[in-house]
């Protein structure tokens, strides 16, 4: 089916950690099997990383819709002072 991705921007400042929820992002593919949806990080954050909460400090490049539903994925800013704000899209 068609894939629909709805995402609100998330803005992080120095040292922030934001847990992704189904508000940010939510996707559907028309199959009514959200447990099979996978996200790929095509452009990683410049001043931080996307992490699974069970493995802090280790960047991930993919995660599932179930990880988002369980609130197990975070975007983490790297504390770089010169970076200012960064947005996750």
10 versus 73: the higher-pLDDT residue is 73
Alpha-carbon span 38 to 4, nearest angstrom:
13
Residue 56 CA: distances (Å) to CA of 3, 49, 59, 82: 30, 10, 8, 23
Highest mean predicted confidence (pLDDT) among 5-9, 11-15, 37-41: 37-41
pLDDT in tens, 27-76: 777 777 777 888 888 888 888 899 999 999 999 999 998 898 899 999 88
| Helical spans, DSSP H, in 26-80 | 65-69
The set of residues, in sequence order, having a beta carbon less than 8 Å from that of 35 and lying 6+ positions away, is 64, 65, 66
- Average confidence (pLDDT) over 12-41: 77
pTM of the model: 0.75
């Amino acid at each position: 089916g068609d894939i629909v991705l709805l995402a609100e921007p998330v803005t992080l400042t120095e040292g922030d950690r934001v847990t992704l929820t189904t508000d940010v992002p939510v996707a559907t593919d028309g199959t009514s099997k959200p447990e099979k949806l996978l996200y790929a990080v095509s452009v990683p954050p410049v001043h931080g990383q996307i992490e699974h909460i069970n493995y802090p400090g280790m960047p991930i490049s993919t995660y599932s819709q179930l990880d988002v539903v369980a609130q197990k994925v975070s975007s983490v800013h790297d504390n770089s002072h010169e970076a200012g704000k960064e947005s996750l899209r």
